[in-house]
Amino acid sequence: MTVHSAAEAESVAKSIGGPVSLKVSDPMVLHKSDVGGVLLNIVPGEISNAFKQLAKQLASHNIELKAASVMPMVSAGAEVLAGITHDDVFGPLVAFGAGGYFVELLDDVVFRVLPLTDRDASEMVRSTRAFHLLTGFRGSPHSDIEALERLLLKLGALAEAVPEIEEIDLNPVIVHEAGQGISLIDARVRLGPR
């Protein structure tokens, strides 16, 4: 839920009831963590102070906090990215790779043209280094790869159905333990004139 003041943030956090995240909501801020625009695991009684802290952190980067999102914390899992991009030659492409902080560091993203098949989605996931994070790397639990593949297929169907979509960036997508699904943590959508 989007809030515009510490009081609104407090009200939303109380309605959620558990730990929440607080993130700057500004289309000009693409990498929220780079400017101190994300606070995690905030208990409802501390959200007002957290809102003020977020404003202070952003101000140190010359960004005014006009709006923020308050969301429930989700359980841990592997962080990946998924999305749609548009190529001038190939048209809409579905993207998948390592997400969160690792996007630029690992440069681990693959793309597929449409229409996307079950086999394409499976190959996309398995052809990245991120796949190791999903299959129990260093004792971590196996992730819900089936839910992730369904997401990729739905993105492909959406790109075909809505040609005005220039870009969708879902990052991070938290992939929970097998059978527990996924959580979309941050999303950006850009429409074009098609």
Full set of structural domains in the chain with CATH:
2-72 (3.30.1490.20), 78-191 (3.30.470.20)
Mean pLDDT across the chain: 93
Assign 3-class secondary structure to the chain.
CEECCHHHHHHHHHHHCCCEEEEECCCCCCCHHHHCCEEEEECHHHHHHHHHHHHHHHHCCCCCCCCEEEEECCCCCEEEEEEEEEECCCEEEEEEEECCCHHHHHCCEEEEECCCCHHHHHHHHHCCCHHHHHECHHHCCEECHHHHHHHHHHHHHHHHHCCCEEEEEEEEEEECECCCCEEECCEEEEECCC
Task: Using pLDDT thresholds of 50, 70 and 90, give the confidence band for residue 104.
Answer: low
Q: Decide if pLDDT at 137 tops 90.
A: no
Q: Decide if pLDDT at 161 tops 70.
A: yes
Quote the pLDDT of residue 100.
Answer: 76
Task: Using pLDDT thresholds of 50, 70 and 90, give the confidence band for residue 189.
Answer: very high
Task: Using pLDDT thresholds of 50, 70 and 90, give the confidence band for residue 193.
Answer: confident
Percent of the chain with pLDDT over 90: 78
Q: Decide if pLDDT at 105 tops 70.
A: no
Q: What is the pTM of this model?
A: 0.84
Quote the pLDDT of residue 177.
Answer: 96
Quote the pLDDT of residue 158.
Answer: 97
